[in-house]
Copies of this chain bind each other. A is one copy, B any other.
Amino acid sequence: MSGHLAVGEPNAAAAIAGLASGRQMDVAVVRNFWRSVERIPAGASVGASPDARKRDIVVVSGWISETRILTDGRRQIFSFLLPGDVATVSSECHLGSRGLVALTNVEVADADALGGGSDRQRAIRQAIRCREDRLFDHVVRIGRLTAKERVLNLLLELCERLEVVGLVKENTFRVPLTQEVFADTLGLSVVHINRTLQQLRRDGLVTVGRGTVTLHQRHKLASVACYQQGGCDHHLTGWAYRSPAYI
């Protein structure tokens, strides 16, 4: 059952397959890339190391959450970083801010290590902008959608993003999230997430279980969930992550 769709387990093996994005690969770049890869265990925070400089990272494998925890223990998750995503870590984690927490074992690389081609720079900027754009979708989700819509909408976003990096087979993909994480992302309670998922299952809209999700009738789902297809083009497609060959 494991190793089927290898999100969550670090599998950097093929991570740089498309690294040169269409042009000749430079051995020095590849070496540099590899030297910069860092492994982070599930549950640990990313970029909180004492070396306080601000830098961009690329997720090679695994899932990261962007989180804030309130003083009274309430938690809000802002977004997930999936393989291929870029984020800026600043480590100046002033309280009440947001932190990056690995939800699985994670591999991240230094975005600078990819070489400074101007189009690559542009791609990185673009990816960061995408991530910000997604935040607006998230505000709509928790601000104006019902529980059912929220869950579906999020699943659709995840599916679309994972698809871009080749981690979706026949509308099926791995989601290494507990229902509690879902709840803290969507502004709902765990119990209600549980019931909403059951409802969706009963309606035959999705199949969920043991970390795997399948979306049925995706087109119909999109309208049910007020989902805007393809929020922004993911120009980084295929250069930071490839799904391992054995999938």
Most buried by B among A76, A78, A132, A186: A76
Q: How far is it, in angstroms, between the C-alpha of A228 and the C-alpha of B68 when the chains are bound? A: 12
Pick out which of these stretches binds chain B: A56-64, A116-124, A135-143, A155-163: A135-143
* Contact present for B135 and A70 (CB under 8 Å): no
Q: Which residues of B contact A186 (CB under 8 A)?
A: 143
User: Is A2 part of the binding interface, using a Cβ–Cβ cutoff of 8 Å?
Assistant: no
* Contact present for A96 and B228 (CB under 8 Å): yes
A185 CB, min distance to chain B CBs, angstroms: 8
Q: Which residues of B contact A72 (CB under 8 A)?
A: 226
Q: How far is it, in angstroms, between the C-alpha of A229 and the C-alpha of B134 when the chains are bound? A: 26
Q: How far is it, in angstroms, between the C-alpha of A98 and the C-alpha of B72 when the chains are bound? A: 33
9 extra A-B contacts, CB within 8 A, seeds A135-B139, A142-B187: A70-B140, A76-B144, A95-B228, A98-B136, A132-B132, A135-B136, A138-B139, A139-B139, A139-B142
Beta-carbon contacts under 8 Å, A59-87 to B: 68, 70-72, 74-76, 78
* Contact present for A139 and B76 (CB under 8 Å): yes
Q: How far is it, in angstroms, between the C-alpha of A75 and the C-alpha of B140 when the chains are bound? A: 8
Q: How many copies does the complex hold?
A: 2
* Contact present for B187 and A136 (CB under 8 Å): no
Q: Which residues of B contact A142 (CB under 8 A)?
A: 139, 142-143, 187
* Contact present for A76 and B143 (CB under 8 Å): yes
Q: How far is it, in angstroms, between the C-alpha of A31 and the C-alpha of B154 when the chains are bound? A: 49
The one of B68, B95, B226 that contacts A140, using a Cβ cutoff of 8 Å: B68
Beta-carbon contacts under 8 Å, A92-142 to B: 95-96, 98, 132, 135-136, 138-140, 142
* Contact present for B75 and A139 (CB under 8 Å): no
A204 CB, min distance to chain B CBs, angstroms: 23
Beta-carbon contacts under 8 Å, A198-227 to B: 226
The one of B71, B98, B140 that contacts A76, using a Cβ cutoff of 8 Å: B140
Chain B residue with the shortest CB-CB distance to A223: B71
Q: How far is it, in angstroms, between the C-alpha of A95 and the C-alpha of B72 when the chains are bound? A: 39
Q: Which residues of B contact A78 (CB under 8 A)?
A: 136, 139
* Contact present for B226 and A71 (CB under 8 Å): yes
Chain B residue with the shortest CB-CB distance to A75: B144
A77 CB, min distance to chain B CBs, angstroms: 9
Q: Which residues of B contact A226 (CB under 8 A)?
A: 70-72
Q: Which residues of B contact A132 (CB under 8 A)?
A: 132
